Amino acid sequence: MTEVTIHAADGGSFSAYVAAPRSGKGPGILVLQEIFGVNQVMRDLVDGFAGQGYVAMCPDLFWRQQPGIQITDKTEAEWQRAFQLFQGFNVDKGIEDAKAALAALRKHPASTGKVGTVGYCLGGKLAYLMATRSDADANVGYYGVGLPDLLGEAKNIRRPLVLHIAEKDAYCPPEAQAAITQGLGAKAGVTLYSYPGADHAFARVGGQHYDKAAADLANGRTAEFFHKTLG
C-alpha cells in the first residue's frame, strides 16, 4: 500500500493509491473514484482487490481542481463540496488521466500486463467511457451516472463490460435505465445487472443506502468477471 505519481498526458502529475497482492504478481485493476475523492472507502476497495490477487490502483482524478481530496458522505458540508467537485470535473480530461494511470498500471513491476477498470458513481460513468475510449481489457461500472447521454459511444466497445444498475437509483431514473437497456442490452460483450429495490451507492460500505445482499451479489459477479477476463 503506497502512493505513486502518475504523469498526465498534457503535463503535470497526480497521485494514485496502490496496493499489490501478497503473491507479488497479478493482473491490474484500476479503481475509479466516487465524488468524495480517494478517501478511505476507495482505499479499502483497493486493498480488497489486492487481497483477491490484483495490483489495484486508485488515481486522484480531482487533482486538476484540488489534489488530495478525501471527504466522506457523513455531513451536509461534505456532500456540498462533493457535488461542487463533480460539477467542476472535466470528464474528457478525467478519462485522459485515467488512461495515463492505466498505462502506468500495466507497467507496474507487480503487474502481469492485463488491466481492467472498476468504477463507482462518477467512476461508474468513467468505467463505461474507459470501455469506449481506452484499451482496458475489461471494465465494470457500479451505478454510473449520465450514461444515456453517452450511448452514442457504445459502438466503440471492444472489450467485455459489466454494468451494475440500482433499480431505485434517483440519479438514474427508470427512463434512463430503459435507455441503457435499449442501447446496450443486445450488444455483444456487454452484461447488465439490475438490483431490485437497491438505491444508488448500494455497494458503499457504511453508506446510507448500503445493501449488503445486493453488494455481495454485485461484488461476487465482479470477482467472477475479472477472474475470467484478467486471470
Mean pLDDT, range 24-48, rounded to an integer: 98
Is the pLDDT score of 37 beyond 90? Answer: yes
Is the pLDDT score of 1 beyond 80? Answer: no
Mean pLDDT of the chain: 97
- CA-CA-CA-CA torsion sign (145, 148, 149, 153): positive
Q: Which fold, 2-230?
A: Rossmann fold (3.40.50)
Mean pLDDT, range 38-42, rounded to an integer: 98
**Full-model pTM:** 0.98
Mean pLDDT, range 102-109, rounded to an integer: 97
The domain limits of the chain are 2-230
Could you tell me which residues come within 8 angstroms of residue 65 by beta carbon, excluding any fewer than 6 positions away? 85, 88, 89
> Would you say 145 and 184 are in contact if contact means Cβ atoms under 8 Å apart?
no
20-24: long-range contacts at Cβ-Cβ below 8 A with a sequence spacing of 24 or more?
A: 20/50, 20/55, 20/108, 20/110, 21/50, 21/51, 21/52, 21/53, 21/54, 21/55, 21/110, 23/53, 24/110
Instruction: Give catalytic residues, as residue numbers.
Output: 169, 200
Phi, psi of 73 (to 5 degrees): -105, 25
Mean pLDDT, range 16-34, rounded to an integer: 97
